Amino acid sequence: MKTVPIISAEKAASLVKDGDVILGGGFGMTGNPVNIIHELAKTKTKDLTFIANNVGEPNMGGGRLLNNGQLKKMIGSFFTSNREAVLAAQEGRVDYELLPQGTLAEAIRAGGAGIGGFYTPTSAGTLIAEGRETKMLNGKEQVFIEGIRGNVAIIRAWKADTAGNLQYRMTEQNFNRAMATAADIVIAEVQEIVPNGEIDPNEIHTPGCFVDYLVERKLTEEDLGSSASVGSSKVMDEKRMNMAKRAFAELKKGDVVNLGIGIPTLVADLIKPEDGIILHTENGMLGVGPEPKDGGGAMHYPVNAGKVPVTALPGSSYFDSADSFAMIRGGHIDVAIMGGLEVDAQGNLANWSVPGKPLLGVGGAMDLASGAKKLIITLRHTDRDGGSKVVENCTLPITDFNCVDMLITELAVFKFIDGQLTLIEILPGSTLEEVRKKTEAKFVELLPNV
C-alpha cells in the first residue's frame, strides 16, 4: 500500500503557482480547507482562478484570497453569501462565472471522470446559459456544460489513513468528494491521520489513489464562520406562518421535500415525526431534523443549505453535492418549496437576481425548479413600493420557465390549472377585492362558494 506524504499547510500552499486553477472544497465554511487557504493567502501567489460553491465568507477562506487581490477569476454557484465577492464582481475587479449548484457539482464530477461534458436542462433559456451550445433532447432544450478540472484541489476531510484514504463527516462531503478526483494535485486537509487499516474499507469515501498530499490541521469553531452556532434568525409573524401552514398542507406522508431559505424554512417547524415527511437539503443530507436544542453548531451537527446547524433524524443519510443534485434532476424530489421575487401568468419564476442589488448567485434554485415533481412558491404579494410580484410577465432574470405548480402569498393561493393562473383560496385577513387590486397578472377565479 502506498504512503501519501504528510506535509504542513505552509508547504501545501507553496504547491500553488501563479495562474493556477484551484478547486476549493466546502459549502460555506463547512468542509472548507480553511487552514491551507489561509496559508495560501499569506503568499504572493496571484492570478488564480478559484472554483468553489462560494468564495468563503468575508475575509475567510476564499474571501481572504479575494481581499488580497490574488484572484483573477471566481467560478461558483452562490456568491451572495459573501458581499465582498458580490461587490468585487459587480465593480469589475474580478472576473466571474455563475453556474447552477448542481451543474457545478456535475461538471467537476465529469472532469474527474475524464468526461468532456454533458447536456442538462438546468438553466436552459436563462441568462446563465447565454453563449452556450444547446440541443433538444427528449423534447427538452438542454445546455452543454464542459467538464471542470483544476491544477490543484484543496479539500477537507475528517479522517485519513497514511495511504490517503479519506472519510468525511456529516454534510462535509459537499463538493469535496468530486473535487478530490478532478485535479492534477490533490491536497487533503484532515482532522486526523491514522495508520493504514484503522478506517474500515466500507467507510472510505475517497480512495487514496486520488490523493497526493495530506495536511493534519485541527478544525476549531472559529473556522466555521456563520455555521459555528445556531443562528437562523427566522422571521416569524402571522402572515408568514399562514403561508408556511398552507404550504405544509400540500405535503403528504412519504414525500421527499426540499425547503428553500426564507419563508419555506418555517415549514420545517410544522413537520412532526408522525407526518412521515423526509426533508432533503441540497448540500448532502436526507432526513433533516430540527435545529439543535443545545445551541450547538457545525462542529457537532450537520448543516442545511442555509448553512444553519440541524439534527439528523433516525434513518438519515449523507452524500455529496453531485449525488444530491442527481436526486433533484432525476425526479426523486417530490416537492420543492422555494421563495420568489416574481411569478408570472405563464408559471415562470424569477428568484435569483435583481439588477443593481447585492445578489449574485443562483445556488440550487434552477435545478430544483426544473427537477422537482411539484414546485410551490411562497412570496409576498407586493414589493415595498406596493408593486405586484404576481405579474403578467416576469421582468427580473428568469430562474425557470413554466415550472410553478402553486403560488402562496400572504393574501391568496393560486394554482396553475391547464396552464392558467387560477385563484383557489383567499387567506385569512384578505379579501377577494384586495387580491384583484394587488395582482397584476390576469387570473381565473375558482373559489368555493363564490
Q: If residue 303 lies in a helix (H) or strand (E), which one and from where to where?
A: none
Q: Is the pLDDT of residue 44 over 90?
A: yes
Point out the catalytic residue in the list 57, 172, 189, 282: 282
pLDDT at 328 over 70: yes
Do the beta carbons of residue 336 and residue 375 sit within 8 Å? yes
Residue 232 pLDDT > 70: no
Query: For the chain, what is the mean pLDDT?
Result: 94
Q: Strand pairing partners for 350?
A: 342
> For 79-119, how does the pLDDT look when each residue is reduced to its tens digit (9 = 90+)?
988 999 999 999 999 999 999 999 999 999 999 999 999 99
Q: What pTM did the predictor assign?
A: 0.94
What are the C-alpha distances in Å from 242 to residues 248, 263, 314? 10, 10, 29
The percentage of residues in the chain with a pLDDT greater than 70, rounded to a whole number, is 98
Going by the DSSP 8-state scheme, the letter that residue 419 receives in this structure is T
| 198 catalytic per annotation | no
Does residue 356 carry a pLDDT above 80?
Answer: no
Question: What are the angstrom distances between the C-alpha of 366 and each of 13, 60, 71, 125, 362?
Answer: 35, 27, 27, 11, 7
Q: Is 243 helix (H, G, I), strand (E, B) or coil?
A: helix
Q: To 5 degrees, how large is the angle CA 370–CA 49–CA 368?
A: 10
Between 122-126, 277-281, 437-441, 446-450, the lowest mean confidence (pLDDT) is in 446-450
Pairing of strands 278-281, 285-288: antiparallel
**For residue range 120-138, what is the model confidence (pLDDT) as tens digits?**
999 999 999 999 999 999 9
